[in-house]
Amino acid sequence: MTGFALARVELVLLIPLAAAALLALLPGYRLTARLNVAATLLTFLAALALLFTRHPAPGPYLLVDDLNVVFIALNTFVGFTTSVFSASYVGHELETGRLTPTYLRFYHAMYQLLMCAMNVALMANNIGLMWVAIETATLTTVLMVGIYRTHEALEAAWKYFILGSVGIALALFGTILVYVAAQPVIGEGLDAMVWTKLVAHAAKFDPALLNVAFIFLLLGYGTKVGLAPLHAWLPDAHAEGPTPISAVLSGLLLNVALYAVLRFKILMTANAAAVAPGPLMVTMGLVSLIFAAFMLYRRRDIKRLFAYSSIEHMGIITFAFGMGGPLANFAGLLHMTMHSLTKSGIFFAVGHVAQAKGTQRIADIGGLTETHPWLGWSLVAGVVAIAGLPPLGIFMSEFLVVSSTFARAPLLAIPLVFGLLVAFGALFLRLNGIAFGEPRGETHPVKASYGPLFAHLALVLAAGLYLPPQLVAWFQHVSQLLG
Amino acid sequence: MPNLAFDTSHLLAGGLVLVSFVLLYQDRLYSMLNVYALHALVLALAVAWQANIQNAPHLYVTAGLALGFKAIIIPVALRRIVERLGIHREIETVVGIGPTMLAGMALVALSMVVMLRVTTEATPIAREDLAFALAVVLLGLLIMVTRRNAVSQVVGFMSLENGLVLAATGAKGMPLVVEISVAFSILIAFIVIGIFLFRIRERFDTVDVAALDQFRGERR
């Protein structure tokens, strides 16, 4: 039985890896795009199998528990829908000549490698392995951001690479410090890097060393989450890369980095003498939220606009997890799920909008609901969702974050609500120009794939109207794990 | 003899910080690459000494990697890139040498204060190593921040990684996984950077990052 269970765990990692090797070799757009979709679908099914069966016992490298299974399921699902969107997106890019067949092959291989690295990071029970996986995920996305080889794309990739490496270097230093703290208690060797063992013995670690380690880890992985003031790479990387990559970056990679922070937060709370990680995360979250909310007003590029919106939402999620406690953690988890679905959905729409209009400049996009009704209205629906209007899922999770903050720390709720309202105003101001009014700019027909977009929006709407009790129970259980 | 182990590792780790300072004030690419090779050489010695006193033969692999790959192959390859691109002139720095050195000293003091205070339970060798390693990491960051030229930013990044390797080997018995991964990441980083440099060359005829800045989408 355990052998079977282990095989399932490895399937989630091996399918993307094998697909990456295969896609690197195969030529042809139609075949490879379909293979890409098939591989992500298979990975998603394997992850679902993990969700509905008993978890295997944790090994020295891999771990599946109730916390990361949520992340893995979300990760593979959005990976699958994005690959469907990507198939129609890259088809258009090939026709317009922005991508060559060689680069397409490279793109598909990197996409699968990224999926594999993110799944490894989510399943890692070893803090060293987790670091390696996040580093690999970063490098693959750097390569994909630079794939168009325009001036802007190269600059964005370079900036992302430099800032990402600095972040990842700080995270490694933090990881080494955690090992140094664990070594006198657990002993030398592999065991002192295994997360489950670290948590079991965390109470006996030197608290001062753990504090310093956590600061490095928070800054390091926080760079990857896109928390201000280390967010500078994020808008550029989102705006200049292929749109499927923007969707995966916003919807998934930011979550993966946040997941790493959460794992170390659990470690910190297990040690009573160490400084509470909450206030640090609350501060970084609030700063990111308010900063990004104001930055939203001055955006001229549609993808940059939604990239700043991602910083804003990662700020809210970090804030919620920083507050801690069952309700805020529940709200954070829900918000993370809803944000992933909504934001990648928005990027699906934005990708087609940019193709239909031949530009990403907001000033050149107007009256979309008249020229492209389906695309325009689904973008409107997405923005309504991301801005947090009822009855969609994000309204519910934001409501929970705000109400739990009001109950426990009313003073913190003031900047939180302020940031939310500022961002709300900015989004609708921009949406008004993009979706309504006189049609502006050139217009091309576009073969859009609405399936993934509608699937995401439907899920967000469904979650806003009715959350199944099983799901609520599951999230509540995970919230308690988070402490 | 009892303190030879400590004194030597102290000397080598301190030497690494010193070479980081030398790296900090280089204003020519060729000399910067030479100093980087020296940096990697000192690192190789420090790691080899750790392997000796910890009785950890696998650390010799890390030392060998530092010597062969970082001290020889990378500087030679980067030198060729610099030659091919014809960019061996002066490096543009963002701030002057004086303030940079002062900032560097402040960073070293900071890392001593922070690390020596929190590692009271660790062995003296690990304490010194971690404190110096943090100093090297911070100096590497400083190099990256104060240079505009892509190649010198890369050198800053690699010196930063050297600091990480020093920290990882100073932590006694840390699994090899990490050392290999660090070496591996250097390799990947180098490949990535190589690709970038060539692309940048192809498109811009310059590797000055400031030239890239003007293409940024929103500065109009």
- For chain A, what is the HEC assignment? CHHHHHHHHHHHHHHHHHHHHHHHHCCCHHHHHHHHHHHHHHHHHHHHHHHCCCCCCCCCCECCCHHHHHHHHHHHHHHHHHHHHHHHHHHHHHHHCCCCHHHHHHHHHHHHHHHHHHHHHHHECEHHHHHHHHHHHHHHHHHHHHHHCCHHHHHHHHHHHHHHHHHHHHHHHHHHHHHHHHHHHHCCCHHHHEHHHHHHHHHHCCHHHHHHHHHHHHHHHHHHHCCCCCCCHHHHHHHHCCHHHHHHHHHHHHHHHHHHHHHHHHHHHCCCCCCCCHHHHHHHHHHHHHHHHHHHHHCCEHHHHHHHHHHHHHHHHHHHHHHCHHHHHHHHHHHHHHHHHHHHHHHHHHHHHHHHHCCCEHHHCECHHHHCHHHHHHHHHHHHHHHCCCCCHHHHHHHHHHHHHHHHCHHHHHHHHHHHHHHHHHHHHHHHHHHCCCCECCCCCCCCCHHHHHHHHHHHHHHHHCCCHHHHHHHHHHHHHHC
Residue B34 CB coordination number (10 Å): 16
Q: How many domains does chain B have?
A: 1
A99 occurs within a structural domain: no
B219 occurs within a structural domain: no
Give the largest Cα separation in chain B, rounded. 66
B179 occurs within a structural domain: yes
CB-based contact B192:A143 (threshold 8 Å)? yes
Query: Which of B118, B134, B185 has its CB closest to that of A209?
Result: B118
Taking CB atoms and an 8 Å limit, are B217 and A239 in contact across chains?
yes
Q: Quick check: A231 pLDDT over 80?
A: yes
Kindly identify which residue of chain B lies nearest to residue A127, measuring between CA atoms.
Answer: B178
pLDDT at A445: 78
Measured in angstroms, the CA of B168 and the nearest CA of chain A are apart by: 6
Retrieve residue A460's tokens. Answer: 């967000």
Q: Could you say which residues from 5 to 64 on chain B have a Cβ atom under 8 Å away from some Cβ of chain A?
A: none
A220 occurs within a structural domain: no
Query: Which of A149, A173, A188 has its CB closest to that of B167?
Result: A173
- For residue B186, CA distances in Å to A308, B50, B125, B181 come to 31, 21, 26, 8
pLDDT bucket at B5, cuts 50 / 70 / 90: confident
Residue A472 CB coordination number (10 Å): 12
Whole-angstrom Cα distance, residue A62 to residue A17? Answer: 16
CB-based contact A267:A198 (threshold 8 Å)? yes
Q: Which of A51-60, B41-50, B185-194 comes out lowest in average pLDDT?
A: B185-194
pLDDT at B203: 40
Phi, psi of B138 (to 5 degrees): -65, -40
Taking CB atoms and an 8 Å limit, are B141 and A166 in contact across chains?
yes
Model pLDDT for residues A90-101, shown as the tens digit of each residue:
988 888 888 888
Model pLDDT for residues A76-91, shown as the tens digit of each residue:
999 999 999 999 899 8
Containing structural domain, residue A346: 276-483
B106 occurs within a structural domain: yes
A423 occurs within a structural domain: yes
B220 occurs within a structural domain: no
Q: How many domains does chain A have?
A: 1
pLDDT at B120: 78
Model pLDDT for residues A147-190, shown as the tens digit of each residue:
887 878 887 888 888 788 888 888 989 998 999 899 888 888 88
Kindly identify which residue of chain B lies nearest to residue A128, measuring between CA atoms.
Answer: B178
A25 occurs within a structural domain: no
pLDDT at A147: 86
Percentage of residues of chain A with pLDDT beyond 70: 99
Q: What is the ipTM of this complex?
A: 0.85
Q: Which of A208-222, A292-306, A421-435, B199-213 comes out lowest in average pLDDT?
A: B199-213
Kindly identify which residue of chain A lies nearest to residue B54, measuring between CA atoms.
Answer: A188
pLDDT at B219: 40
Containing structural domain, residue B177: 4-213
B31 occurs within a structural domain: yes
Query: Which of A169, A179, A184 has its CB closest to that of B174?
Result: A179
Residue A402 CB coordination number (10 Å): 18
pLDDT at A318: 95
B158 interaction partners in chain A (CB closer than 8 Å) = none
Model pLDDT for residues A323-338, shown as the tens digit of each residue:
988 899 999 999 999 9
B153 occurs within a structural domain: yes
Measured in angstroms, the CA of B42 and the nearest CA of chain A are apart by: 20
